[in-house]
Amino acid sequence: MTIGSTENRAILVNSWNEWDDLEEIIVGIADYACFEPTEPGNHPQLRDKKLAEIMSFPTGPKKQKTTDKANEELAGLVALLESQGVIVRRPEVYDFRQSLKTPYFEVVNQYCNVCPRDVMITFGNEIVEATMSRRGRFFEYLPYRKLVYEYWDSDPTVVWTAAPKPTMSDEMYREDFWAWSLEERFASMHNFEFCVTQSEVIFDAADCSRFGRDIFVQESMTTNRKGIQWLKRHLEPKGFRVHAVHFPLDFFPSHIDCTFVPLRPGLVLTNPERPILAEEEKIFRDSGWEFIFAPQPTSNNDEMPLFCQSSKWLSMNVLSISPEKVIIEEREKPLQALLEKHGFEVFTIPFRNVFEFGGSLHCATWDIRRKGDCEDYFPALN
Query: What is the pairing mode between strands 214-218 and 106-107?
Result: unpaired
Q: How far apart are CA 243 and CA 107, in angstroms?
A: 33
Site for ligand ARG in 14-33 (CB under 6 A): none
Sheet hosting strand 22-27, strand order edge to edge: 87-89, 22-27, 365-370
The footprint of ligand ARG on this chain (CB under 6 A) covers a number of residues equal to 14
313 binds ligand ARG (CB under 6 A): yes
**Ramachandran area for residue 8 (φ above 0: left; ψ -120 to 50: alpha; else beta):** left
Residues 173-212 that bind ligand ARG (CB under 6 A): 206
- Contact between 373 and 265 (Cβ < 8 Å): no
Side chain identity, residue 185: R
Select 124 or 297, whichever has its Cβ closest to ligand ARG: 297
Residue 103: CB minimum distance to ligand ARG, A: 28
DSSP string over 229-281: HHHHHHHGGGT-EEEEE--TT-SS---GGGTEEEEETTEEEE-TTSPPPHHHH
**Enzyme catalytic residues:** 204, 255, 363
Kindly state whether residue 310 participates in binding ligand ARG, applying the rule CB under 6 A: yes
The binder of ligand ARG chosen from 359, 366, 369, 378 (CB under 6 A): 359
Question: Using CB under 6 A, which residues numbered 38 to 67 contact ligand ARG?
Answer: none
Least distance (Å) from ligand ARG to the CB of residue 266?
Answer: 24
For residue 293, list its beta bridge partners.
270
Contact 131, 202 (CB under 8 A): yes
CA separation for the pair 155, 12 (Å, rounded): 6
Q: Is 311 in the site for ligand ARG (CB under 6 A)?
A: yes
Asked if 218 interacts with ligand ARG (CB under 6 A), we say: no
Q: Which is nearer to ligand ARG, 134 or 226 (CB)?
A: 134
Per-residue binder mask for ligand ARG (CB under 6 A), 245-274, x = binder: ---------xx-xx----------------
Nearest distance from C-beta of residue 111 to ligand ARG, angstroms = 11
Where do contacts with ligand ARG occur on this chain (CB under 6 A)?
115, 117-118, 206, 254-255, 257-258, 310-311, 313, 358-359, 363
